[in-house]
Amino acid sequence: MDPMSIACFTAVAETQNFSRAERRCGLSQPALTRALRRLEQQAMAPLFDRRRSDARLTEEGLRMLMSLRVSAAA
């Protein structure tokens, strides 16, 4: 997992919104989407339930977020 993809994932998870995450990361929508797709390919599962107005973590996304937070705390 590359640091940019992790930052994008965390931004979407925390804001539950792709537009706000794009601004937080300083990326365009296509760049953010590519970063998230890389993580989803590595996880072999969708990480977000993408909706018209928001993005919610899937079970796999929640596991990844918790794992990243545990790793960061260590």
Secondary structure, 3-state, the chain: CCHHHHHHHHHHHHHCCHHHHHHHHCCCHHHHHHHHHHHHHHHCCCCEEECCCCEEECHHHHHHHHHHHHHHHC
CA distance 21 to 17: 6
Q: What is the domain partition of the chain in residue ranges? A: 3-73
Q: Which pLDDT score, from 0 to 100, does residue 72 have?
A: 85
Q: Are 65 and 57 in contact (CB under 8 A)?
A: yes
Q: What is the pLDDT along the chain (74 residues), one digit of tens a residue?
A: 789 999 999 999 999 999 999 999 999 999 999 999 999 999 999 999 998 889 999 999 999 999 999 988 87
What is the pLDDT at residue 1?
79
Report the topology of domain 3-73. Arc Repressor Mutant, subunit A (1.10.10)
